């Protein structure tokens, strides 16, 4: 099940009632939770039980689609920050495919170093001392596919 954000609290309560596990008591640094994004092992099954599925993310909100599970297989996320990057990359046209995916596959970047959302451009430029207004203008130009204008 892939649960949309507006029903997550209800679904989490239903899962708590069904399993007896309080989701608020699951440690956010639990190794098996992170392994779900790269393996079915924490589920106690083998990939053949899920028709070759290599991740345990099939029912995880925002990570259960074939597209995002493919991203998980490509990037092998290990940290919460990697998962946030993937979330940013999975939204928008051509943000991942033919862009970040290529950079990751050819070794130019990793999931940890690739730009995951447009705001990273602006924040990076501001951290390097660029005026916030100019950083915003550059970010918007890049977002619209116009690149960086000279001058």
**pLDDT surpasses 50 at 112:** yes
Place of tokens 């989701």: 23
Q: Is 17 helix (H, G, I), strand (E, B) or coil?
A: helix
- What percent of the chain clears pLDDT 70, i.e. is strictly above it? 95
Instruction: State the pLDDT at residue 117.
Output: 80
Mean pLDDT of 54-68: 88
Q: What is the pLDDT of residue 12?
A: 81
For residues 8-15, give the mean pLDDT.
Answer: 82
Q: Give the separation between CA 79 and CA 71, rounded to whole angstroms.
A: 15
Confidence of residue 145 (pLDDT cuts 50, 70, 90): confident
In a domain, 65, yes or no: yes
> Does any domain span residue 50?
yes
Q: Which domain holds residue 48?
A: 5-116
Q: How many domains does the chain have?
A: 1
CATH number of the CATH domain containing 95:
1.10.150.700
Is residue 112, in this structure, part of any structural domain at all?
A: yes
> Residue 113: is its pLDDT beyond 50?
yes
Higher-pLDDT residue of 92, 120: 120
pLDDT class of 74 with cuts at 50, 70, 90 = very high
Q: Determine if the pTM surpasses 0.85.
A: no
95-110 burial, b for 16+ CB within 10 Å, e for fewer? bbeeebbeebeeeeee
Please check whether residue 142 lies inside any domain of the structure. Answer: no
- Closest C-alpha to 93, from 67, 123, 62: 67
The answer to the question of residue 22 being in a domain is yes
């Amino acid at each position: 099940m892939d649960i949309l954000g507006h029903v997550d609290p209800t679904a989490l309560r239903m899962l708590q009632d069904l399993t007896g596990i309080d989701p608020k008591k699951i440690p956010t640094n639990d190794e098996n939770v992170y392994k779900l994004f790269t393996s079915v092992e924490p589920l106690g099954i083998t990939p053949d039980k899920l028709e070759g599925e290599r991740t345990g993310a099939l029912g995880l909100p925002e990570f259960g689609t074939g597209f995002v599970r493919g991203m998980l297989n490509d990037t092998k996320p290990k940290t919460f920050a990697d998962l946030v990057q993937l979330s940013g990359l999975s939204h928008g046209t051509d943000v991942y495919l033919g862009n970040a995916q290529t950079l990751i596959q050819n070794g130019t970047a990793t999931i940890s170093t690739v730009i995951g959302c447009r705001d990273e451009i602006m924040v990076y430029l501001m951290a390097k001392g660029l005026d916030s207004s100019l950083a915003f203008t550059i970010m918007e130009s890049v977002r619209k596919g116009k690149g960086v204008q000279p001058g």
